[in-house]
A = this chain, B = another copy of it.
Amino acid sequence: MKKVTVYITLKAGVLDPQGKAIQESLTALGYEGVTDTRVGKVIELNMEDGPDLEVRIKDMCNKLLANPVMEDYRFEVEEAVQA
């Protein structure tokens, strides 16, 4: 088993109202000098290993996990820790 971590972020130029709300809240709480706040997602999953692992991950990202029109993704693969 492999542990796969997928990071999904909005493409540059896409408006991020959630990030803007966080930034305004931080300023309201007194944290000055915070800019360019963007919010994305992390998806962690365990997958069976195989020679086509990276192909399967990219396929899953394009079909379900990310919206390729508005979002970029990158992923890391590491050995899953046995529970």
Residues on A lying within 8 angstroms of B by beta carbon are 1, 7-9, 19, 22-23, 25-26, 29, 31-48, 56, 59-60, 63-65
Copies in the complex: 2
Q: Are A43 and B33 in contact (CB under 8 A)?
A: no
Distance of A22 Cα from B72 Cα, bound (Å): 18
Report Cα–Cα, A26/B63, bound state, in Å. Answer: 9
Closest to A80 in B: B36
Known: A22-B65, A26-B60, A64-B29. A42 touches B43 (CB 8 A): no
Bound-state Cα–Cα, A33 to B1, Å: 9
A76 to chain B, nearest CB (A): 12
Report A45 CB to chain B, min CB distance, Å. Answer: 4
